[in-house]
Amino acid sequence: MTQQISLFDFWAEPEPPPPPTGATFANLDALVAAASQCQKCPLGATRTNIVVERGNRNAPLMIIGEGPGQNEDEQGLPFVGKAGQLLDKILASVNLDPDRDVYICNVVKCRPPGNRVPTDEEIESCKPYLLEQIRLVDPKIILLAGATAVRAITGEKQGITKIRGQWSQWEGRWVMPIFHPAYLLRNPSREQGSPKWLMWQDIQAVKRKLEELMLS
């Protein structure tokens, strides 16, 4: 019996373009699909959901945190718990909308049990995803929230209190370490010189730099 071939047999979705040489993923959807299947480190076995991103995939500003907590693991989105709510307030204080102006992600995409700090091996296993996120989003500014993000990206091991608020260049992008919002929740004072007060200085400097870069 001859098989009928209809027009729909030829009507396939166009293939996405291949990634450029040296890159792994053609786009962020491909990255999310791969990360959802990932078992490269032991965190894959204990996660509820993979936690890759929230915000605008074309944003000029990227914020990198440490790793998902319980709320993030349950919802599959980064920074949606108490620390995330504070982060959104900090951004709103300088008129930055997390859905429009910012792309938010973490060093590791699966929750470390008990919210422990991810190990060097876990960070290294997950780093290719983070580097691809940076390449694909192509932000002008990256904020490294907390010591783990600083260590993962720059290798710098100095305490965050020493280096927060300092601009440097990393691979052609402006980078600034900032306090992790969870640290600010544990240190609620707003007095001059307190971590919250310093964060307020830092986010204003970020807003100024963003405006400067968007105009140039």
Contact 108, 61 (CB under 8 A): no
Judged by CB under 6 A, does residue 179 bind ligand URA? no
Q: What is the distance of C-alpha 96 from the center of its chain?
A: 16
Q: How far is the CB of 3 from ligand URA (least distance, A)?
A: 51
Judged by CB under 6 A, does residue 76 bind ligand URA? no
Rounded CA separation 195/179 (Å) = 7
One of 72, 122, 132, 202 touching ligand URA (CB under 6 A)? 72
Between the two ends of the chain, the Cα-to-Cα distance in Å is: 67
3-state DSSP call for residue 76?
coil
Q: How far is the CB of 152 from ligand URA (least distance, A)?
A: 11
Q: How far is the CB of 92 from ligand URA (least distance, A)?
A: 18
One of 31, 53, 63, 79 touching ligand URA (CB under 6 A)? 79
3-state DSSP call for residue 142?
strand
Judged by CB under 6 A, does residue 86 bind ligand URA? no
Of the pair 72, 132, the CB lying nearest ligand URA is at: 72
Rounded CA separation 97/207 (Å) = 12
Of the pair 79, 103, the CB lying nearest ligand URA is at: 79
Rounded CA separation 55/84 (Å) = 12
Binding site for ligand URA (CB under 6 A): 65-69, 72, 78-79, 81, 83-84, 106, 182
